[in-house]
Each structure stands twice: as structure tokens, then as C-alpha cells.
Amino acid sequence: MARVVVDVMLKPEILDPQGQAVANALPKLGVADVSSVRIGRRVEIEFNGEPDLDRAREIADRLLANPVIEDFTIRVDDAVGDSQAGSS
């Protein structure tokens, strides 16, 4: 099994109100050295067999991202099968 990760972000020229809200809240948590925050989303696509980057790009372009306001990047996740600890 192969996993492809698609990261979808707003284009730099698009305002990010969620990111601004997080950035504005950070000083209240004692974090003063962050100048900008952008919020996006991560989509994981698992393929049977080898990863198909062309197919993943087609899925992202046609379904996962709005090309008017969003950009996306695609990469193969080499950590499939490794134990990944999440933060709680």
C-alpha cells in the first residue's frame, strides 16, 4: 500500500481569517515570536500497489482544491507502516 499526501493551502494573495485568528490568539498564550499563520488541510490518499502521482494530481485538481483560491502540493508519504505517534 502506498500513501500520497495532498496539502491544500489558500493562495498567498487570499486572506486567511482562520490563520489571522490563530495568530491573534498566540500572544494571549505567551507566544510572541510568530509573525504569520496560514491554515490549510492535509488529505491522505492510499493506493493499492505503487503510488500514482498523476492520478493523485488529477484527484486534487478536480475534487480536493478550488483552483481559483487554493494551491496544492503532492508528495509520497514514506512513513506508511511506521508507527507514528500523535501529540495529545
Q: Which domains are delineated in the chain?
A: 2-77 (3.30.1280.10)
Q: What confidence tens digit (pLDDT) does each residue in 48-82 have?
A: 999 999 999 999 999 999 999 999 999 999 876 55
pLDDT at 87: 47
Name the residue with higher pLDDT: 87 or 43: 43
Q: What confidence tens digit (pLDDT) does each residue in 1-53 have?
A: 899 999 999 999 999 999 999 999 999 999 999 999 999 999 999 999 999 99
Encode the chain in three state secondary structure.
Answer: CEEEEEEEEECCCCCCHHHHHHHHHHHHHCCCCCCCCCCEEEEEEEECCCCCHHHHHHHHHHHHCCCCCEEEEEEEECCCCCCCCCCC
